[in-house]
Amino acid sequence: MSGNLQAFFKTIIVQMKLSIARPMFQFVIWISPFFYATITYFVYGGQSPEKIFQYVVLGSGFMGLWTSIVYSSASDINRERYYGTLENIFVAPVSFSYIIMGKIVGNTIWGFVSMHLSFIYLRFVFNLEYPMLEPLLIVSAHLAVVISISVFAFVMALLFTLSKQAEALMNFIEYPIFLICGFLFPIVILPTWLQPFSAILPPTWAIELLRTVTNSASTSTQIIQAFVILIAITTIYVGIAFVAYKAVDRKARIDGKLGVY
């Protein structure tokens, strides 16, 4: 195994340990899913079981996932900056991209723990019935979602690397993404001018894929289409990430301003 890959997997393990040791992150993973799930259940409680699953179970679960992603993109970058270690990580022999992706994947795994904790809570506390699902299809969808969300988070992390206001940006983007990407409602009810912004964001298609594969009425064509769209937009963001990384790397090395001051 190459040094970069070894560092990537080690970073995932270390990041998971460091993240869950922080009280705020513990709240995000263990407590906030209950609030999200309860509130959304009371909003959709009178709807059909299918709509409840689509927007209460998946929606509230994805809110917890997204919150953990935001933390990995912004908060961890900001923390490294204030610890005085961001510059060291950036110029280390191991590529900075592998370290950041390791942090993101580590927090994404915790995000999926939060997401499934919400599923369990809704199932046993509110006695919700869940549809029978094809295991291979669900695993494939989860894998596609993890990759897509991680790539999107990586792009955000690169932008936050150059900004000394990462904490403020983190707080700013968390809830707008809930709304723009349609976690709790169909994006078609958004203003027409806002819907194109929804269409270019991976979280929109990530949750749409999960809704499609868990909908018993979905045809094979619809499922394949959902996978293709998510893979396509993820590929575009991989290209954006590559270009952005080169630009950030060059600017950071020229300016030398990754620290607090």
Give alpha helix (H) positions in 163-255. 166-180, 195-199, 202-213, 220-255
CB neighbours of residue 106 within 10 Å: 24
Query: What is the predicted pLDDT for the residue at 148?
Result: 93
Task: Identify the DSSP state of 54.
Answer: I
Answer yes or no: is pLDDT of 261 > 60: no
Residue 240's contacts (CB-CB under 8 Å, 6 or more residues apart) are 155
Q: Which residue has the higher pLDDT, 169 or 95?
A: 95
Phi first, then psi, for residue 191 (nearest 5°) are -55, 145
Is 260 a member of any domain? no
Give pLDDT, residue 17. Answer: 92
The answer to whether residue 182 sits within a structural domain is yes
- Average of per-residue pLDDT values in the chain: 86
Please name the amino acid found at residue 55.
Answer: Y
| pLDDT of res. 259 | 63
183 contacts 207 by C-beta, under 8 angstroms? yes
Amino acid at 231: I
- The pLDDT, as a whole number, for residue 143 is 93
Contact (CB, 8 A) for 162 and 247:
no
Query: Within a domain: residue 261?
Result: no
Q: How high is the pLDDT of residue 167?
A: 65
Q: Rounded to an integer, what distance in angstroms lies between the CA atom of residue 147 and that of residue 160?
A: 20
Three-state secondary structure call for residue 184: coil
Nearest to residue 122, comparing CAs of 216, 69, 71, 53?
A: 53
Global pTM value: 0.88
Residue 189: domain span = 3-255
157: pLDDT confidence band, cut at 50, 70 and 90? confident
Across the range 99-116, mean pLDDT stands at 89
- Which residue is listed with tokens 């990537």? 8
pLDDT tens sequence across 204-250: 999 999 999 998 888 999 999 999 999 999 999 999 999 988 888 88
Is residue 200 a contact partner of residue 232, using CB atoms and an 8 Å limit?
no
Range with the largest mean pLDDT of 105-114, 178-187, 197-206? 197-206
Is 71:28 a contact under the CB 8 Å cutoff?
yes
For the chain, what is the domain count?
Answer: 1
What confidence score (pLDDT) does residue 1 get?
56
* Max intra-chain CA distance, the chain: 58
Which residues 6+ apart lie within 8 Å of 185 measured at CB? 55
CB contact at 8 A, 164 and 260: yes
Query: Can you tell me whether residue 128 is helix, strand or coil?
Result: coil
pLDDT tens per residue, range 34-88: 998 999 999 887 788 888 888 988 998 888 888 887 766 667 777 787 788 888 8
DSSP, residue by residue, 32-61: HHHHHHHHHHHHHTTS-HHHHIIIIIHHHH
